Structure 1
Amino acid sequence: MARPAWLAAPLLVAVLTGCSSSPARDEPPSDNARAAQINVQLGLGYLQRGQKQAAAEKLARALEQDPKSALVQHANALLQDVLGETEAADRHFRRAIELDPKDSEARNNYGAFLCRLKHTDEGVAMLEQALGNPLYATPEFAWSNIGQCRRQAGQLTEAETALRKAVQLNPRLASAWLQLAQTQFERGEAMQARESLKRYHDLAPQDPASLLLGARIEQALGQRQAQAHYELLLRGKFPDSDEARRLGEMPR
């Protein structure tokens, strides 16, 4: 399923570093809570590898073991989102945030989820709430998602501002550089877009989207040889991609 590269927070890291099952508990976690954490860890591992059935089994078990865990609810939200179960994902996201209002990772992922559903204002508000937590370890994720959300809504000036904040916070965040290059190109800033795309290619392998964008940028700059180079790479490396087929739609 093709989707924009919204940036999910590193939820699995939270499990591996031994976060508690629920922030409201001061006592050591119960046996059920510990078992639920293990099942979340296993379930997210399966989900990352594309093993959806195995992930669903582990995360359903975690939900039975500790339904009042924000972490368990968050993990199940991510699963339901991947499965395309929008209403269930929304329900689990809301429950996770209700259980732990300070969980910026959940707010980041829920905000990105809302943005994919074209609920721009609600999604950006959720992402900004994530950024309101001074202890949020990866604010560049939320800034990048705000940028992508704004770009999707055609709010290109706001999108570029957010994406610049993302790459300032983490210059090695490759996907934000690609989003920035796309936004700058759409704003008619071809030279800036070329530089941002170069930064992306310094950090990540060439892919169909980046090669098509490169061809478009060089065309806008009147660099026919460079344009042809990108087109050759796209047709040679990814001949069956949608982007390769879209080369024929470019004006000549």
Structure 2
Amino acid sequence: MQRFAIALLFILVSGCAAQAPWEKVDLDQQAEAYTNLGMGYLNQGQINRGLINFKKALKARPSYSEALHGTALALQQQGEFDLSERYFKKALQTKGNETDVRNNYAAFLFKQSRYDEARKQLEIASKDIYYADRRLVFTNLGYVSIKLEQTDKALGYFQQALVLDSTFIPPHRALLELFSKQQAWQQAEQHWLALRDAQINDETTLKQALIVVQHTGNQKEARYINSLLNSTN
């Protein structure tokens, strides 16, 4: 059986702004425009150019949350972890996309193996009932719970993510693995069927699914999975 692969899901807000008369508009618009450019550069892997634009945004508005957040993400990608955390904390102290910041700060903490701290940030984020991507927060809480060896909580969080979006792939993958480990084959099979319907055909998933359907006695599904595995070899 494959070892559980865990990686928290980041949110990287992208944006673009045309080269316009920024210098002639108010400082809030300048900060927003430069931040959008910076996030766009981060999406393209151009970290230094991103940082330059975040610096310009912060020159216009020193407490602009989105620019502080972008700076934290850029510094994290550069391996400047102490500085990155400082900017995450600054971003959380200002008004802005606080739940986005908390999710990404939790992912930062997760990568530092600071799982309980990540959990606390995600629990706060999960209470934002108006957050557009709460499924992501609950999925990340599931991953953190696995690291904390809290399997029952992980199951609950992944299931909550699917209540919010039944088509979201990461919790289906996680539940396929978790239920397999518990030998809850019928439950595991339901998550394989959801992955199959979404045309998830990577080798790791297929091998896990084959174990599951062999235990449920679903010979038709076993033949289907074997045909997919043979086609990938």
Q: Which range is displaced more, 90-99 or 4-13?
A: 4-13
Stretches of structure 1 that go unaligned for 5 or more consecutive residues are 17-29, 237-252
User: Equivalents in 1 of 2:225, 2:52: separation in Å?
Assistant: 48
User: Equivalents in 1 of 2:59, 2:140: separation in Å?
Assistant: 32
Asked if 2 retains the 8 angstrom alpha-carbon contact of 1:212 and 1:230, the reply is no
Residue 193 in structure 1 maps to residue 195 in structure 2: no
State the Cα distance separating 1:221 from its structure 2 match: 5.4
Q: What residue is the counterpart of 1:52 in the other structure?
A: 47
Residue 93 in structure 1 maps to residue 95 in structure 2: no
Which structure 1 residue ranges, 4+ long, deviate > 6 Å from structure 2?
A: none
- The one-letter amino acid of 2:71's match is N
- Count of aligned residue pairs for this structure pair: 219
Residue 112 in structure 1 maps to residue 114 in structure 2: no
- The one-letter amino acid of 1:128's match is E
User: Equivalents in 2 of 1:69, 1:122: separation in Å?
Assistant: 25
Q: What residue is the counterpart of 2:22 in the other structure?
A: none
User: Equivalents in 2 of 1:225, 1:84: separation in Å?
Assistant: 46
Aligned pair partner of 1:180 in 172, 175, 178: 175
Asked if 2 retains the 8 angstrom alpha-carbon contact of 1:7 and 1:141, the reply is yes
- 1:82-161 superposed matches below 5 A: 82-100=77-95, 103-161=98-156
Asked if 1 retains the 8 angstrom alpha-carbon contact of 2:65 and 2:94, the reply is yes
Q: What residue is the counterpart of 1:8 in the other structure?
A: 10
State the Cα distance separating 1:92 from its structure 2 match: 1.4
User: Equivalents in 2 of 1:50, 1:216: separation in Å?
Assistant: 39
State the Cα distance separating 1:47 from its structure 2 match: 2.2
Shift in alpha-carbon separation, 1:154–1:35, aligned structure 2, 3 A: same
Residue 41 in structure 1 maps to residue 41 in structure 2: no
Shift in alpha-carbon separation, 1:200–1:44, aligned structure 2, 3 A: farther
User: Equivalents in 1 of 2:97, 2:44: separation in Å?
Assistant: 29
TM-score by length of 2: 0.77
Shift in alpha-carbon separation, 1:190–1:47, aligned structure 2, 3 A: farther
What per-residue deviation string (whole Å, max 9, x for no partner) do you get for residues 152-199 of structure 1?
333221111100000101112222222222222233223322321331
SS in 2 for 1:99: coil
Q: Which range is displaced more, 216-225 or 72-81?
A: 216-225
Aligned pair partner of 1:76 in 71, 78, 83: 71
Residue 166 in structure 1 maps to residue 179 in structure 2: no
RMSD: 3.0
Residue 232 in structure 1 maps to residue 230 in structure 2: yes
Q: Which range is displaced more, 87-96 or 98-107?
A: 98-107
- The one-letter amino acid of 2:147's match is Q
TM-score by length of 1: 0.72
Shift in alpha-carbon separation, 1:42–1:228, aligned structure 2, 3 A: same
User: Equivalents in 2 of 1:51, 1:102: separation in Å?
Assistant: 23
Asked if 2 retains the 8 angstrom alpha-carbon contact of 1:182 and 1:193, the reply is yes
- The one-letter amino acid of 1:232's match is N
Aligned pair partner of 2:198 in 199, 203, 212: 203
What per-residue deviation string (whole Å, max 9, x for no partner) do you get for residues 13-40 of structure 1?
7x99xxxxxxxxxxxxx73332221222
Shift in alpha-carbon separation, 1:135–1:228, aligned structure 2, 3 A: closer
User: Equivalents in 1 of 2:179, 2:9: separation in Å?
Assistant: 20
